[in-house]
Amino acid sequence: MEHKDSVVSAEWLHARLGDPDVKVLDASWYMPDEQKDPFQEYQVAHIPGTLFFDIDGITDRTSNLPHMLPSEEAFAAAISALGITNKDKVIVYDGKGLYSAARVWWMFRVFGHDQVWVLDGGLPQWQASGFDVKSCSSGDAILKANAANKAVEMAYHGELLGSSTFSVNFQPHLIWMLDKIKQNVNAQTHQHLDARSKDRFNGVAPEPRKGVRSGHIPGSKCIPFPQMLDGAHMLLPVDELRKNFEREGISLDHPVVLSCGSGVTACIVALGLYRIGIPDVPVYDGSWTEWEAQPDTIKLTAASNS
């Protein structure tokens, strides 16, 4: 069955759980100040048959920025180690409802795999629907999670890997780097939307990462990611999403680029735009963490704007 939306319901997944071509990933991840171990939580409670996707492991090992997109070779190696093929339907969820799963949805799309969806409402909605969770992980699932991380490490060391079951088709238009953001500050070809809270955007609340000051990129607008979600952390209907963008002065007829703190919550806004019918929105991978660290970039706050 073809599913055009960016999310699937718990009922949809429950009806297909165990199908050989449906692979489910727990992509839970938490901010540094939350001090939670997502892999430990996965082992305590997860949807049956789920594998763990480590956002901080399947990453660019040459960058000192958090969880930057890995190389094509590293991603292919990791996904192959998880036993996923290009024919599979990939469903991603997280423990918060709808949070870090959107990042992994975006990663798969950057590497050309469009058969990927986020579980709407995540693990909380799955449990609220009365569906079972497993409280122990099979040895195979733990081995695969560790093998995926090891495969990334080997790829960055240039070591030969085993046969790949997953091939990538890189989509460069879905990812922006620092240079393109710098150009956009001057050219303003794209509306730049920042998914962080208004207080962090305005420089009046601290960033969750040590040594990173808050503020925003010149020309950007703040649309906090919770504006995509309802009280149950499920994606809002199309008409409500449209209203929320329009309320913030965003024209859905003009191109958009997204950022946040480190490239995770921007993907929730991308998920909302996909539901509206705007599928190919780029995310600035380094986001504010990279921009703030540059000596030559302008950083604005509410005070500097006034």
To the query of whether residue 260 is one of the catalytic residues in this protein, the response is yes
Name the CATH architecture for the domain at 172-305: 3-Layer(aba) Sandwich (3.40)
Name beta bridge partners: 284. 176
Per-residue model confidence (pLDDT) at position 135: 85
Per-residue model confidence (pLDDT) at position 1: 41
SS3 (DSSP) at 220: strand
Kindly list the domain boundaries of the chain, sorted by start residue: 7-156, 172-305
Query: What does the angle CA 210 – CA 262 – CA 180 come to, to the nearest 5 degrees?
Result: 125
Separation between Cα atoms, residue 27 and residue 272, nearest integer Å: 18
Q: Which CATH number fits domain 7-156: 3.40.250.10, 3.40.640.10, 1.10.3720.10, 3.20.20.70?
A: 3.40.250.10
Instruction: Tell me which H or E stretch contains 51.
Output: strand 51-52
293: buried, middle or exposed (CB in 10 Å: 19+, 13-18, 0-12)? middle
Separation between Cα atoms, residue 254 and residue 212, nearest integer Å: 31
Question: Which residues in 209-233 are b (16+ Cβ under 10 Å) and which e?
Answer: eeebebbbbbbbebbbbebbbeeeb
Per-residue model confidence (pLDDT) at position 250: 96
Q: Per the structure block, which two tokens stand in for 263? A: 């490239």
Q: Per the structure block, which two tokens stand in for 200? A: 């962090």
pLDDT in 10s for each residue of the chain, 306 residues: 445 799 999 999 999 999 999 999 999 999 878 889 999 999 999 999 999 999 999 999 999 999 999 999 999 999 999 999 999 999 999 999 999 999 999 999 999 999 999 999 999 999 999 999 998 777 888 999 999 999 999 999 998 677 789 999 999 999 999 999 999 999 999 999 999 999 999 999 999 999 999 999 999 999 999 999 999 999 999 999 999 999 999 999 999 999 999 999 999 999 999 999 999 999 999 999 999 999 999 999 988 864
Hey, do 7-156 and 172-305 end up sharing a CATH topology, with the first three levels equal?
yes
- Nearest CA to 123 among 135, 114, 139? 135
Q: 136, 222, 260, 267: which is the annotated catalytic residue?
A: 260
Name beta bridge partners: 26. 52, 93
